[in-house]
Copies of this chain bind each other. A is one copy, B any other.
Amino acid sequence: MSFDRLIEKIIEMKNPTVVGLDPKLEYVPEYIRSRHIQETGETLLSASRAVLDFNKAIIDEIHDIVPAIKPQSAYYEMYGYYGVQTLAETISYAKSKGMFVITDGKRNDIGATMEAYTNAHLGEVTVGETVIEPFSADALTVNGYLGTDGIEPLLKVCREKDKGIYVLVKTSNKSSGELQDRKLDDGTPIYALMGDMCEKWGADTVGKYGYSAVGAVVGATYPEMLTELRQRLPHTMFLVPGYGAQGGGAEGLKGGFDANGLGAIVNSSRAVMCAYKKEGCDEKDFAKSARREVIRMRDDITQYINLK
């Protein structure tokens, strides 16, 4: 019904970060890949199983430090339906360890089709008389280009099943301004209009920390817009990509948080998954190395904010 569940985990762990599990096969240590290739050949199945082992080992090492994971759907679709099975099993494993799961799918459509995406990723479907939750993430990233028709089916499930969404507002990439920074005839930039729509869509789901079930994706690479949007969108929690690998520094994130150090969760993907490569440690130490990186990241970010 809001992001209260996630915010409570953030407060408890004193850690407003999320680990993006975007596992390209080349990030997975060789010894895991070759074990699965021996078992099931050079197939999408062996790739998917290797990724699942990799994810689980990282989850085991970070779930007591980090409140949430964000698997990016593209990296699972890339290994076909076995990859999508690994997505489902990664979500389920992280939840069994108490983590909050944000599926990064940037899904978008209208009416019955958006309902299907919602039921797939956050809700449930019925076969005969049996009710099944296909993926059952806690939150989903979505794209609002289609307007309210594309968001309403999500809001219904957010209310009924205590789920949340993050709508793309100002993305972290270089060309995000081509459309998002263009100004409307009344002077409002498109990203701000999209942000205003998030406030409107979330209005009746505001929880006890002041944030609704409708969050916004705002990139770490544009610190001034992060600050501007934090003020403009007081009830909209931010999911912030672009820290680390994409060049956004910790101090620049400050403006995305409120006076209590809440209102944003910062993502890091590659720096965590590939920490063992950067450290140059034994590849069998990859999960411990990921743990060291999430601690470093937590401390790097929390030094600038007032999270009690």
- Closest CB of chain B to A183's CB: distance in Å? 5
Contact with B along A87-98 (1 / 0, CB 8 A): 110000000000
Copies of this chain, count: 2
Which B residues are CB-close (under 8 A) to A116?
22, 24, 72, 74-75, 77-78
Asked if B173 contacts A147 (CB within 8 A), the reply is yes
Tell me, yes or no, whether A251 is within 8 Å of chain B by CB: no
- Closest CB of chain B to A79's CB: distance in Å? 7
Asked if B193 contacts A175 (CB within 8 A), the reply is no
Give how many A residues have a beta carbon under 8 Å from the other chain's beta carbons. Answer: 75
Tell me, yes or no, whether A171 is within 8 Å of chain B by CB: yes
Q: Point out the residue from B33, B79, B107, B149 that lies within 8 Å of A125, measured CB to CB.
A: B79
**Whose C-beta in chain B lies nearest to the C-beta of A197?**
B178
Contact with B along A143-176 (1 / 0, CB 8 A): 1111111100000000000000000100111111
Tell me, yes or no, whether A127 is within 8 Å of chain B by CB: yes
**Whose C-beta in chain B lies nearest to the C-beta of A86?**
B81
Tell me, yes or no, whether A108 is within 8 Å of chain B by CB: yes
